[in-house]
Structure 1
Amino acid sequence: MGERDDVPWAMQLAFADERDRDGAGRPTHYAVCEAVASAVVTLLSDPRAVDGEWSAAVKHWSDLAIRKVVRRGRGVKFAAVRALPGVEVSHRGALVRAFVPGPVSEVAPEIAKLQVGGTDQPDRGTPSEPVPGGLTIALTPAVTMTTGKAAAQSGHAAQLAWWQMPADVRARWEASGWAVRVISPAPDAWDRLVKAAPVAVRDAGFTEVPPGTKTAIAWWPGSGLADDGTRLERDGGRPGWLGRLFGR
C-alpha cells in the first residue's frame, strides 16, 4: 500500500466509559471484553472490509504482526470518534467502536485523545450466558491483565476463531449476532482447556505479559468443548489449533 514495512499497524478500539457522579454506571470488565471481541469480528465481516473501501487496509493489517489497541473515553471525546470510519457494538452496558486499521503513527487525533494506559474497570461483572451458535473465550489465570489488555486478547481470539472455523459454523455465529462469552477458568481448568481448545493466542509481549504467554483460548459448538469448558462434547471431533503472535 506504499507504507513503510517497518511501521506497525493496529486496529484501534474504543469503549464509552461513562459514569455517574458516584462512579457508578461504568461497563464491567467482562462486558467490555465481550463487546470488543464482537466488534472486531463485526468489522472484519463488514462488506466494506471484505470487498469494499476498507478491504485494502484490513488485508494489509492482517498480513502484518496484528495489533489491537483498546482505549476508553467519555463525553464529548467519545462522541467525537463515533463519526470516524468503523463499526459499533452495544452489549450489556458496554458501547464499543472498532475502527479501520491503520499505521500507529497516523492515528486520528480524535482517537489519540482517548486513554490507553490504566484502562481497568473496577467492576469485573460476570460472563454472559451461552448463546446458541456463539463463541466462548477463556482468559488465562496465569497472569493479571487490565481490562484493556484482556479485551485486546479477547479480540485476537475472536479473530482467530473467525478465520479458522468452518463456514457453516461461522454462519451460525453470525446469526447469533457474533455473540461472545468470556470466562476466566481456574488454573486446573485452564490447563485442561488449553490442550483441547482449537484456538489459542500467544502474546508478543509488548505490554503487561511476557512474550509468548498464552493469554486466551476460544472454542465454538462442535469444536470439542462444551460452552462452559467443563467437559468435552460427546461427539466433538479432535480440534485443530491455530496460533499467532499478537501485539498490544
Structure 2
Amino acid sequence: MQIVVHLPRAGSPEGEPPTRRALLEAVATAVGRLVDTAYADDADPAWGAAIRRYEDGWIRKVVRRARGIHWRRVQDLPGVGVEHDGAGVRALLPGPVGELPDVVRKLQVGGTEAEPDDDGGGPPPPGALAVAVNPAVTMTAGKAAAQAGHAAQLAWHAMPPARRREWAVAGCPVRVVRVTEGEWRAGLDHAAVVVRDGGLTEVTPGTTTALAWW
C-alpha cells in the first residue's frame, strides 16, 4: 500500500508541515477508512479484490512525500484522502509494486520527517482508536506512520462488529498516545493489537513497533 503525505515547506503558500502526531493519526485514519470502504457491502468489487490480495501477503506500507503539483496529481488516483489537524494524507488502493503509476513511483520515500508537538492533540475524538508507537525504537515519521497504519488495519479486523461499525461511522478517528517505556512493556500484555514489523527498513525483523486498543 502506497501512502502519500503532504509535506509542504515551512512558510510556503501550501501551508505549514504537519506535526508528527497529526501525521501518524492521519495515516492511520486513512488506512482504516480505506479498509472499511473496500470491505463494505456496496464496495466496488475491484477494491475488495485489491485489498484481499494485499492482505494475503505482507501488509507492507510505503510512505512517500509530495507537495505542489505532485500532491495534486495523486488526488486523482484510487484511494482515500484525509485532512486532519494540519496533516494531508492519501492512502492508495494497494497494487503490485511493478505497476505503480509514474506520479507515485517518482515520489521520494526519504525525508518524511515531522516535528513533534507538545499538546498531545487535546481530548481524543469520540470513538477513537488509541495507538502507541514503541518509544524505545528510533523511526522516521514515515516509518512510524506506516506502523500506525498497520495498527489501524489490524484493529479493523480485530474489533467486534458493533465496535467496528461505531468506528467506521465516526470516520475511523485515531489518537496517538505517547507512552513511556514502562507503559509500553505493560501494554504488550493487554493491547488488542500488537504490530511486529517485517524488518525491511529501519528496524530488525520482528520488532514490536505499535500497539492499538479501544
Query: Fold match, TM over 0.5?
Result: yes
Match of 1:214 in 2: 208
Equivalent of 1:41, from 32, 47, 51? Answer: 32
Give unmatched runs, 5+ long, in structure 1: 1-10, 221-248
The list of structure 1 runs, each at least 4 consecutive aligned residues, that deviate by more than 6 angstroms after superposition, is none
SS at match of 2:157: helix
Offset from partner CA, 1:83-135 (integer Å, 9 cap, x none): 111111110011110111011122110011211013111x1124333222110
The residue correspondences of 1:138-217 to structure 2 (distance < 5 A) are 138-217=132-211
Select the structure with the greater relative contact order (CA < 8 A; seq sep ≥ 6): 2
Match of 1:84 in 2: 77
Q: Is the 8 A contact 2:194 2:211 kept in 1?
A: yes
SS at match of 2:195: strand
SS at match of 1:102: coil
Shift of 1:47: 5.2
Task: Normalising by structure 1, report the TM-score.
Answer: 0.80
Counterpart residue identity of residue 133, structure 1: G
Offset from partner CA, 1:148-201 (integer Å, 9 cap, x none): 000000000001100011011111112322110012311111111111101100
Match of 1:70 in 2: 63
Shift of 1:46: 1.3
Question: Aligned partners of 2:11, 2:90: CA distance in 1, in Å?
Answer: 24
Question: Aligned partners of 2:161, 2:11: CA distance in 1, in Å?
Answer: 47
Task: Normalising by structure 2, report the TM-score.
Answer: 0.92
SS at match of 2:91: strand
Q: Is the 8 A contact 1:13 1:69 kept in 2?
A: yes
Shift of 1:76: 0.7
Q: Is the 8 A contact 2:38 2:51 kept in 1?
A: no
Question: Aligned partners of 2:190, 2:205: CA distance in 1, in Å?
Answer: 22
Which is richer in helix? 2
The answer to whether the aligner puts 1:117 opposite 2:110 as a matched pair is yes
Give unmatched runs, 5+ long, in structure 2: none
Shift of 1:22: 7.3
Query: Identity percentage over the alignment?
Result: 49
SS at match of 1:181: strand
